[in-house]
Amino acid sequence: MASPLLVPICLLTNQLSLNDLQALQAHVASLMTAEPVAIKAGEVVLVGENTYAHVGRPELGTFNVLPAAAEEKILTPNQLRQEVIKMADSKGKAFKAGWRKLVLNRGMVENVFGILEECYSEIRRKNSNPEGWKTARELGGRDTLKWQRFKLRVISYLYEKGSFGSPEEEEGFHDFEDTAGGCDEIAWDAACYLLEHPEWQAK
């Protein structure tokens, strides 16, 4: 028997864009693995990347789509790289030069972001991330500033832990391109830790 939530949600389809419908489909799919959530009259629920619906009488399927709230613009790829470069501002000249090359020439930011994008759905599921799945869902969709900022926090955490290596090491810096070396597990563990410990701050 279909979930009683699916019928009223489906009544929104003639009011949403294609992108919002796709986001709604992904959201409903993620709910299948989560604990049941009761939706009450008067609540506002997210039904798309930037679209909310006010619940009138859920048992009758009365939903009213609300205007999207204004969101901060997401960072450009260059802005993201510059944010990562600044993490090494307090280091010596040789370290900063190698770090800059790691970011600009070896694609480290893109590599780490790519790993996190691949596990985006997994970290939002209770069965795969039992301690942090709720916090993960608060980060919003893939194309949001919150998600970008979280990925930057993962890089900052890995940087603090020395996961990217250094010029003094025999292998130098690590760009996280070779997932066979376990860098995807390292990024996953870092993401889960930060979701469980949102109070963590870089030194």
**Which residues have a Cβ under 8 Å from the Cβ of 55 and sit 6 or more positions away?**
39, 40, 41, 42, 43, 44, 45, 62, 63
**pLDDT (0 to 100) of residue 181:** 83
**pLDDT (0 to 100) of residue 180:** 83
In the numeric block, the tokens 């280091």 are attached to 91
Domain ranges of the chain: 77-201
pLDDT in tens, the chain (203 residues): 444 444 444 444 455 566 665 665 665 555 554 444 444 544 444 444 444 444 444 444 444 544 555 557 999 999 999 999 999 999 999 999 999 999 999 999 999 999 999 999 999 999 999 999 999 999 989 999 999 999 999 999 999 999 999 998 988 999 999 888 899 999 999 999 999 999 999 88
**pLDDT (0 to 100) of residue 170:** 86
**pLDDT (0 to 100) of residue 179:** 83
**pLDDT (0 to 100) of residue 70:** 59
Burial string for 97-123 (b: 16+ CB within 10 Å, else e) reads ebbeebbeebbbbbbbbbbbeebbeeb
**pLDDT (0 to 100) of residue 52:** 47
0.75 cut: is pTM over it? no
